[in-house]
Copies of this chain bind each other. A is one copy, B any other.
Amino acid sequence: MSLYQKSKAVDECSPLSEAEGESVLALIEELFPICRSITGNGVRQTLATLQRYIPLEINEVPSGTSVLDWTVPREWNIRDAYIARPDGTRIVDFAANNLHIVQYSPPVDAVMPLAELRRHLHTLPDRPEWIPYRTSYYAENWGFCLTHNQLSGLADGLYRVVIDADLAPGHLSYGELFIPGESDDTILFSCHICHPSLANDNLSGIAVATMLARHVQTLRPRHSYRFLFIPGTIGSLTWLARNEDKLGRIVHGLVLSCLGDGGGMTYKQSRRGNAAINRIVAHVLAHDEVPHRIAPFVPYGYDERQYCSPGFDLPVGCLMRTPNGEYAEYHSSADNLSLLRPESLAHSLAVLRRIVAVIEGDAVYQSRNPKGEPQLGRRGLYGALGGQRAASYDQMALLWVLNFADGRHSLLDVAERAGLPFATIRAAADALLAADLLEPVPVRC
């Protein structure tokens, strides 16, 4: 609570139009049917689609390449998979939903009794209408996922199981976009692209990251920006192993996932609690009308686990709406297009733009008149008539910036102390710069 009442915050960014939310959704709809995994043609098709939006560079890393403690696995491609009755009727069919297959299932063509088949079947008994999403990347197990209702309906007897897939040396594919800025100091945005037909996790993150990259391309940014579209875990490990020389330039980073559901915002902090990105995101969310929560770092979740491993300890947090594991539809066929809301996608993108605006706009200034207040009135920055009840909203912002233009406080520091949105403080600083009352201090912030 400030001592002197404030008027309502100005709207610092025009909200994205509904049309923009729809265009994010259109990209998601195009990507939804593709069967992605941590390798394979589904990933390539996804990256090729994104190249229509942004000039993504595509990297191919051979199977067997050592990446840190791991090895790039064989490439997995699947053409067909089904469980059929003896009469040939398909009762579980990959063609109907690509979640039906446990990812990285090796090829199978066998007939077996239900009792044996059952050991390869995965369901969600609590959600009998949903198909679970399961993987077995690093242990060779085949399996099918189906609804619990389907399983309950299976009669004893023999079933034919066919998985027409390749699990063979190939490549791991990932996409990368580097947008150079005035400085080599780099902001990292990373999203995982390995999930098949799951909408919120993580086509929402992929599509929002793509649109954010398009926005950054329209700026002449002070910082450089790097966008990664990578398979989870093995993709970030691969990128980290190949780019150790670049890590020192990463000044802030965010993993983006689950950005399209109807929930509020969740920011999971970087391992280093004092990382600037933690303050930046917290500030932006604090001045947003959508509810949010700030969660401390936990060594579980998405690729922040790798970026924040102790040998790297990068200042990378994770921005989500409802986090992984906390919405009922997570990792099931119910995480489909109907879970997404265009206004959530547009809002997530707006929040990220505001985060970029803080990163780009933050700076340290020094007052040219640090002793006493400069006379704002004769510069047209202060009302002529005195005795009013309180300073106007804009006058307060001017006074805050002037009072803390001491070469030690950044504009974000001032915004936090004033309880005002960064954009208001930035605008006040611009007015004072125009009146020649401030000068920049060469400090990186």
Contacts and interface: CB of A to CB of B under 8 A. Distances in A.
Interface in A229-257: 233, 236-237, 240-241
Contact of A69 (B236, B305, B372): B372
Nearest to A104: B386
A308 interface: yes
Contacts of A373: 69, 233, 237, 305-306, 309
B135 A375 contact: no
A268 interface: yes
Nearest to A308: B403
A122 B387 CA distance: 11
Interface residues of A, number: 74
A205 B305 CA distance: 47
Interface string A123-142: 00000000011111111010
Interface stretch (A157-165, A337-345, A394-402): A394-402
A384 B306 contact: no
Nearest to A309: B372
Interface string A370-390: 111111011000001111111
Contacts of A323: 3-4
A291 to B, nearest CB: 15
Interface stretch (A9-17, A28-36, A110-118, A292-300): A292-300
A261 B192 CA distance: 57
A372 B70 contact: yes
A371 B300 contact: no
Contact of A372 (B312, B385, B417): B312
B406 A310 contact: yes
Nearest to A306: B372
Interface in A384-432: 384-391, 396, 399-400, 402-406, 417
Interface string A175-216: 000000000000000000000000000000000000000000
A152 interface: no
A1 B266 CA distance: 13
A58 interface: no
B370 A311 contact: yes
A390 B324 CA distance: 8
A311 B371 contact: yes
Given A139-B384, A311-B370, A375 B70 contact: yes
Contact of A136 (B67, B308, B384, B396): B384
27 contacts: A1-B295, A3-B266, A3-B268, A4-B301, A70-B372, A102-B385, A103-B387, A122-B385, A133-B387, A134-B386, A135-B385, A135-B387, A137-B386, A138-B375, A138-B377, A241-B372, A299-B402, A300-B391, A305-B399, A308-B403, A309-B403, A310-B402, A311-B370, A312-B370, A313-B406, A330-B389, A331-B387
